Structure 1
Amino acid sequence: MTGDWSNPALRTQRQEAENKGVGFSMADILTLPAQQRRILTWMMRLQECTLAEVAEYLGEDDQTTRRELNLLVAEGFVEEINIAGLVRYRTQVARKRGSQLPEMIQQALTPGKPLSTIINPSGDFAIAPGSTFELCVTISNEGNQSALIDIFIDETSQPLRQWCVSPYERLALGRGQSSEVIFEIQVPLNTLPDSYNYMLVIDAQQHYPEDTPIQHQAKLQVLPFVQEAVRVSDPTFTLLPVTSSTAPALIPPGTALDVQVLVYNRSDRVDRFRLTCPDLARDWFTVIYPEGLPEVGLVRIMDGLELNPGDKGQIQLFLNPPLDTWAGIYSPTVRLYSTNNPDLVLLDTVYLQVAPVYLLDVELVTLVGKVKDQSGLFELQLRNRSNTTREIILRAKSADGDDTCTYSLTPDRVRLLPAGSASVSLLVQPKKKWWGRPFYGRTFTFIVELEDTQQYALINNRYQGTLVWEGRPWWHFLLVILGIVGLIGALIFLIWWLFFSPKPRPEIIEFSPASSSYSAVNGDVIRLNWQINNPKRLQLLRLQGVSPDGMVISGPLVYDFTNGIPSELKTFCQVQKLLVCKNVPTDARRVGDYVFELTLTPKGRRVTPVSLKTNTIRIDPFPIPKIDELMATQPLPIYDEASAETADNKTSEEDKTASAENTPPSPNTPPNQNTPPNQKATPPKKNDRILLNWKISNPEQIRALKLISRDPEGVVNVPEKTYDFTQGFPQELIEFCDVNDEGLICQNVPTNARLPGTYIFELKVIPRQGESE
């Protein structure tokens, strides 16, 4: 049983906890039977588990395990969830503490915090004596510097700090690094069952003094250590009737369960036995011991059962849950104390089920039943006089089947704990506005239907109410007559306005290009913006582009607005008070100057179209590659004839602008006047051909380069050479050319001019678009 239901104070506390959505505390585990306590202790280490996993852990079959889990689900310790058709279970224990932890973790993980921490387990934890508890702390350094971080269990956390193998750890984390620290806490075997508070401190005073220390408080719940007695001389006892979790004893509310406790003293000494139920409130049970041997002149009140060695006795135990006990299965523990052996633990469990009672009082109270212009107000008062939790869904509707009022229930779903109450507000508002108020009044009859989500019985599930809508005062008749007169006048005005008044025409408020510049390099298409008022009066829109000399070079594009915005413009246009169109594409793609004209044709007969023109819009042509520089590498080269012959008549080059001359050296050439007498003149640098330098702008538009040389008479003395840029940069120019912000710069490009003579080089650029230079 969930022992806190037996204690009114604890039961009230749990009801408040459930209403706040914080769940049960760890102390509730101690009130459970051994098998259920074992299941919860194991499930607390997991987030979710299946029926097969729990059965494998217990070593029981699925049917037995399901019965235990169903009891835990009914008592609220375990939650059953369905994920993709698979039923899974997760514990709700320690949520009272855990409800505060997400806030702490969220603060630790808030953007801007240099340290983020994840602590597992993050809440309270239950453990048996002799077990080991591992506290895992993961720390991430999200700051802008490396840090030394101290993680330790505070000195005030005794005796848990003494149980920890290493209560102090230090980490060195760089930026963006994370690490994990595990504190191993060994709970001694002789630890008394209790809740032990501890505080975990994360400190980085040297590097993050403003954001640390970070403190985390939790509890370690040490469960009672129960050891089964195996000595043959120990006393035993038996409970009658025999009950189990699957076959509990059923008792109506307010009645008592008579349990016979048969005690057998198997020791060789006279012993005195006392019976109690440690997890029940004192008003839940009554213990009656048999009278002892009569003694003359003495009247004794028996507070125990005395048995000689080998004798058997009987103790009467009455389990009488209070009248307001909730329906459900309870499993109180019965403990027998031996005077001779006070440390001996003799335990057994009684399973009893308090039968459910379904009684719900409902009253419909009229707060505002007669209305003029406001809503009617009613209140439905519900009182749960049963011992089960009731969840009621409420619906309100007209009893006559019409749809003349709106009904608003606040809330429309209530959950009532045993002995709980709730009030539901009902607003009834006639759908007709003030002008639809009847002259002689009207009555609305409605019903409120109740539905129990668990299909529990309801004495009455339909409650009827009445709202009276009072009639109008007499002077409203005068308003009606005036309204009729005004309606006739308005009708006359409407006829004039529809058939005789001048119709507003659509007007072009703005008509301009979407961009100030367009370029053929980017494949731009001229896009236009316009704004037109009175768009509902627009029938046709015509868009046409002409050249400056009046030749049509774009369009015309005609859009029909008879049925609203045409599909071609829905992406670009919006209609509110104005028809606003932005970035409307045209078919103007070619290079040139355009003047666009927008013509509006209004709806109706004998109407004059409205038109407006843009300024000249230009699509800039592709940039033509231009030769900025063409010259030879050396101005007046002089070649040695002998060296030229040995070099197979190869020549060097000279260029000023675009011409170069190869001449043999003259025997009368004077030596260098600056050469010292004792030093020979340095021979000039020898080249076997003319080398050229050139610079070309806009190299990305080059399709090919053609290089040719002629003599002064125009005769070709070096054949034409073509460098093809269509497949990328020519292989023969990679060594000599470079492309930068200034353009294509080529230096020392070799030519086939090797023989002596005068060469006039001509470099021709063939662009990808346009005419060559």
Structure 2
Amino acid sequence: MNANQIADSTLTFHPITVVVSAWDQNRTTPGTQHYLGVTIANRGDFDAVVQVRLESPTDLLRQWCSRPEQWLALSSGKSGELTFCIDVPGDALPQWLDYEAVVIPQGAYADYYLPPTRCRLQILAPEISETAQDPTFSLSPSTTPDRPLMVQLGSPVVVELIVENRSERVDRFRLECTGLPEEWGIQVEYPRESDSFGLVRLNDSLGVNPSDRGIIRVLLQPPPLPLAGSYLPTFRLASENDPRLGLLGLVYLQVNPVYRLQAQLETVQDQVRNRHAAEFLLQFANLGNTPRQVQFLLKPKTPTNLCTYDLASDRVTIEPQAVSQVPLTGTPQRWWTRPWFGSGKIYPFQVELRDRDLHPIAPETLQGQLTWMPRPWWQLLLTLLAGLGLLGALAFLIWWYFLRSPTPPTVVEFAAEDSRYAEANGDMARVRWQIENPQQIQTLKLTGYSPEGIVLSGPLVYEFKDGNPPAALQSFCTPEKTMLTCSQIRTDAFLPGKYVFELTLTPKGRRATPVILKTSPIEITAKPPPTVTALVPKSLLYREAASGIPTPAEKAIPVIDQAGIRLDWAVTMPANITALHLVGRDQDGRMIGDRWFEFSNSGELPKLLREFCEVGQTLICRNVPTGLTTVGEFRFELQALSADQPATAVKPKVSESVKIQPQTPQILSFQINGREAPAKLLIPVAPFQTLLPIQVNWRVQGGSTTRVDLMPSPGSVPLVGRVSVPLSPQGSTTIALQVKAATGEMLTRSVTLETYDPTRSKPAGTPSPTGAIAPPKSMAPPTGSPGLTESPAPSGSPAPSGAPSPSVPIGVPAPALDDRLAPSEAPPQFNR
């Protein structure tokens, strides 16, 4: 605001008035509703729309008030009322709830400021019904809302709680104090007790005998200058015998206000030169404990048309223990009245301060002044210099048009159009220049050098005739009378590398000196090499393709097919790919095979990949077969090779581990002479009877890494087979079938064959005769060592591959020999 507005402003008329009133005298209890009425009157000449909202530094107000913001429209001369409901929950603790009613006019009164109305709601302690045996306590000193305890600055507040145990048992009590600001100190002192040894120790609780009393002492230490107002500390006494019982007590504290406000006019710049504004700061320091609202009026002591003042605001609110500043500027007017000599012209002013609540301010009036400094001494010579300048200008014009030599050309600008170009876009380096006086140009030479000084481009020479550019530059240049501007001039530099271009300007005349300028380094980047951005196996776990019924856990795992492990990958810059190299490695890092995919033409897919890949901005291949079906754990590496990079410089992309797990082995059957083998089998042998061999049949489900051994002989055998085992005339024979998986898991089935003489007594603990079997009549005695026989196999079990029986199926392997490699020992391959 200017000086006129500051001097003429009044504080008496208020077009919008606000009255805030509570229905229950700002006191309520938990579980009740508190109503606040806001009455607004429009005494102005215009219609008004007013926004009213309740604001609080805590979130309790928005939790308890469903509509903290309301609007009211008032015609001129009308009034209205808004009602706010604060629903206090039943579990609310006794406390003071501080909040403000903020009224913001809109429309025609949008610039009118209404100070917020501060409100304080006291939540009282709920009434608790007591029984005859419930403990009680009383507070000393006793306070009420009408008779609070006055807090003396710098002195602690001592509160004593007298606890009475009215029960028939010893009880122990603990005290908790809440409801005070964090800067207040709270110290709870329990009586000291002596132990069995007579030592005095500190307690964290108060023990009270039945029908006895105890005292707890509490020290409330306020800060050096607490904020003025009412405080409501809440004491909650907890009983150890009855944790659900919580006794509450309140102490009403009152801190008297301290009014101590200091005002000062601080000078930032009080001397004005060249019509710059003088700067001041109205600084207010609130050393009290209550907020202060100060209004000020600026009164200049000189006519208002000689100097104008600008005050940022006409009022300020200073919080307790805070400092506020209001900028003030002053600007002298009428530049022709500025003094020529002396110490300057002084413009005094004063600022009158007034507290809104008429509290004291020291001082109440601030004096200040600004000085308009005299003109500088050199302005006295302006008239003389103006005459001399006129003569000089006349002499200069004579020299310019009749005596001076032609002005040589000057290169105003010479630079590259861009600092970086890309070979992939077919870019070539371009330069621009701007030259004054092009009529004096004879030749221009453009040469490109490497940073080491080797010529890489040009030189390109342009001959000028009569100041006109040659035909090679006419499409790039805009000739003017005194300036030649050329842009986007193509050079012959298109290969990758770094360039520094040099422009050599040769002026007309025999003794003219060439002008040489250079650009900053520019770079033509090579085509980016192709990069493998993704190499992802289609599945990280497969199971071996083998005959038999899989286990329930194996059914959820995909079966490896003839295509083997499949891969997905993505490669950038497919146009620059010359080959893709796929390498497979086992879990020890040994290479087990590789595949090359050659790209004959730029971006053309090989035949092996056309079915699985798509070419766009990126080469994307899905479900590419590798042919790797061997059991084991493998990783894959993929390299994207280009003509510009050697294979050793390309870092391959490594996939995650892919595992082909073997089929879980199972013993489907283990038979002796066509019957499932028990744990022990008795065979009757009469005296002088010829012992015939026992036919052993087995069927094992497993994969290529499953190893089957028949002990004690013949050792390694196929998954399905049959052998004849001779019997010992005396004693017992144990036959064991061992199945070992690649994971180290082993399955064993065994049977003990024992012969006995039926004419003698039966051995103790032997099975019944139904458990004994006799050799089949069709079996012939063995002619050599145990091995495969030609007798027919039992139903459901295939005959061994060496038997001539026509019922033997084709392809059943013979028993394994000792010099044959196990399937798990054969190296996996995927490039055949």
Q: Is this a same-fold pair by TM over 0.5?
A: no
Higher Cα Rg: structure 1 or 2?
2
TM-score bracket relative to the smaller structure: 0.3 to 0.5
TM-score (norm 1): 0.35
* Greater per-residue helix proportion: 1
TM-score (norm 2): 0.33
